[in-house]
Amino acid sequence: MEVTLLLEATENAFRIVERARTHAVGLLDTAVQFTAEQTRFFEEKRWELLFTGAQRRKTRFQNFVGAAFILFAFWVLLSGQFDAFHLTLGGICCLLVAYLFHDLLFANVRVGDMRIVAARFIAYIPWLIQQIVLSNFHVAGLVLRRRMPIDPQIVTFKTKLETDISSVTLANSITLTPGTITMDIKDGVYYVHALDQKVADELNAGEMEDRVAHIFMEADHLYVQDVLDAARIYGTLRV
């Protein structure tokens, strides 16, 4: 009888030990799996941070180069000095100013590729010059008429542009075009002085705003070219 009880107790003890061992192995496997997942997670985060940091450094460098180039181009155009001394001095000053303030020029430009924006802006300039010439003829025609049929008015419209640089580009484009002057921009609303109704109607048509939005790839102005450009960039990233 005592031997039987001893055997049963021994078997129960072995069962308890086996269950404890199985449970311990399960806990150990769970801990190993959790540790591996944590290690993988932190490794992915580390690479993500490294990639993001590299992208930010690349973006800052591109902004610096772009700002320096724009400043130097304006300096050359306005100074009219093309000798080595003045070009060198102007280049040094432009590099210094670009290094200190390039984030102001490209503070919140929403672009996928600065090369696309630069190309679109260059393509926008001839159209703007054409509008300036046509507006000059229109204003000259108004002034030269005997009755001078002008109809001065204040035009207000809510812009769909989202960034500061696109809003400033539109405001300057309006002011550069004879017959219209951007008076103020408040909470996305433009206040523009128009010389007559024809100029006001052309402004309300929104073609200039659409073209500026196209330059900076604004979300509310989606063009077919935007889709093609985005597809090209996405394809490059996948490769």
Count of Cβ atoms closer than 10 Å to residue 102 Cβ: 21
pLDDT greater than 50 at residue 124: yes
Q: Mean pLDDT lowest for which of 67-81, 123-137, 154-168?
A: 67-81
pTM exceeding the 0.75 threshold for the entire prediction = no
CA distances from 47 to 38, 44, 53 (A): 14, 5, 10
How far is the C-alpha of 178 from the C-alpha of 27, rounded, in Å? 79
Q: 197-205 and 114-144 are packed helices; what angle lies between their axes, rounded to 10 degrees? A: 160
CB 182 within 8 A of CB 174: yes
* pLDDT band, very low/low/confident/very high, at 28 (cuts 50, 70, 90): low
**N- to C-terminal Cα distance for the chain?**
79
CA distances from 79 to 69, 71, 76, 198 (A): 15, 12, 5, 37
Q: Mean pLDDT lowest for which of 30-39, 148-157, 164-173, 177-186?
A: 30-39
What's the confidence (pLDDT) of residue 83?
A: 86
What is the average pLDDT score of the chain? Answer: 78
- What length is written for the chain? 239
Facing residues of 189 across strands?
158, 186
Q: pLDDT digit string (tens) for 152-178?
A: 999 999 998 888 888 989 999 999 999
